[in-house]
Amino acid sequence: MKHRKLISSIAINAVACIISIILLIPLLLIVVNSFKTSLAASDMTLALPKEWQFDNFKVVIEKGKLDTAFFNSLVYSVGSVALCSMFAAMTSFVLSRRRNKSSKILYLFFVLGITMPINFVSLMKVMQTIQLYNTRTGIILLYAALQIPFAIFLTYGFISKIPREIDEAAVIDGCSPLRLFFSIIFPLLKPVLVTVMVLTFLNTWNEFILPLYFTGSTDKWPMTLAVYNFFGMYFKDWNLVCADIVLTSLPVILVYFLGQKYIVSGMTSGSVKG
C-alpha cells in the first residue's frame, strides 16, 4: 500500500514538473531573446545570445515611451487597488453584520457584477456625459467598478467568519462604528485584503480593452497599450518586442511574489461563506 502511494506521489510530481517546464518555456523564450540582436532574435530560439544586448531595454524605454506608460499604469493600478479594497471591506462589513433580507439582496446585486457583461456603447455615453472620458480619474473608477464585485465576494465570506462577539465587546468598551471597523476589524482582514490588492493590481495592470476604448490620447496609455503600439512600429525587431514585454511583466511578477502567500488563504476563506 505504501509502495503504491510512493509511486503515485512520484508520478504526480513528475507530471507537475513537466507541466511547469512547458508553461515556463514561453517566458524563457521572451527573456532570452530580449538580450539578442535583431537578426538573432528573428529565429526565436532558446539558444543563449552570443553577445548580450543590454541596450535593448534602453532603446525600448526611449522609443516606446515606457516611462509615461509606466506612470499611467502605476496610477491606474494603485488608484483602483485603494478604491476597490477599501470599498469592498466597508461594504462587506456592513452587509455581513446586517443579516436581513435587504442586505442579502444587496450582496447578490453586487456579486452579480462578476458575471454581467459590459455594454461599451452605454458606458461610453455615460463617461462622456459626466466628462470622465479620456481622463485618468475615469479609468481608475472603471477599473475599480469592475473589480469590486469579486472583492466583495471574497471579503464578505472572510468577515462572516469573524465572531460577532468582538464587535459587541468593542461597543461595550465605547467604540464608535468607525473606530470599531478601522481599529479592530480592518487589521483582521489582512489576508483577504492582500489577496484583493494583488488580484486587483494584476487585473488592472494587464487590462487592455478599457484603456483602448476610453482613452483618446497616447499620453494616458498604460503599459499594455504601449506594448501594442510598440509592436506595431517594430514588429520586425523581435529583440525589442521581447524586451518591451519583459519590462511590462516585471511589476506584475514582483507584486505576485510579494503577495503569493496570502492569495490561497484569502481565496479559500472568502469563498466558503456567502
Ordered structural domains, the chain, with CATH:
57-270 (1.10.3720.10)
Query: Are 76 and 136 within 8 A, CB to CB?
Result: yes
Better pLDDT: 194 or 5: 194
Whether the pLDDT of residue 193 is over 50: the answer is: yes
Average pLDDT, the chain: 85
Whether the pLDDT of residue 63 is over 70: the answer is: yes
Which of the 8 DSSP states describes residue 112?
G
Percent of the chain topping pLDDT 90: 19
Please return the burial class of 176, using the count of CB atoms within 10 Å of its CB with bins 0-12, 13-18 and 19+. exposed
pLDDT computed for residue 142 by the predictor:
92
Percent of the chain topping pLDDT 70: 94
Query: Are 139 and 225 within 8 A, CB to CB?
Result: no
pLDDT computed for residue 272 by the predictor:
45
pLDDT digits (tens, 9 = 90+) for 10-42: 888 888 889 988 888 888 888 999 898 888 888
In this structure, what C-alpha cell is assigned to residue 103? 442586505
Please return the burial class of 215, using the count of CB atoms within 10 Å of its CB with bins 0-12, 13-18 and 19+. buried
pLDDT computed for residue 3 by the predictor:
72
Beta strands in the chain (DSSP E): none
pLDDT computed for residue 264 by the predictor:
60
Query: Are 89 and 205 within 8 A, CB to CB?
Result: no
Provide mean pLDDT across the span 58-85. Answer: 90
CA 92 to chain centroid, in Å, comes to: 20
pLDDT digits (tens, 9 = 90+) for 226-252: 888 887 777 778 888 888 888 888 888
pLDDT computed for residue 266 by the predictor:
53
Confidence of residue 265 (pLDDT cuts 50, 70, 90): low
Instruction: Quote the CA–CA distance of 113 and 117 in Å, as a whole number.
Output: 8
Instruction: Quote the CA–CA distance of 233 and 86 in Å, as a whole number.
Output: 40
Whether the pLDDT of residue 137 is over 80: the answer is: yes
In this structure, what C-alpha cell is assigned to residue 131? 466628462
Tell me how many degrees the CA angle 193-197-198 measures, rounded to the nearest 5.
120
Query: Are 252 and 58 within 8 A, CB to CB?
Result: no
In this structure, what C-alpha cell is assigned to residue 180? 470599531
Q: Letter for the amino acid at 89? A: A
**pTM score:** 0.82
Confidence of residue 75 (pLDDT cuts 50, 70, 90): very high
Whether the pLDDT of residue 274 is over 50: the answer is: no
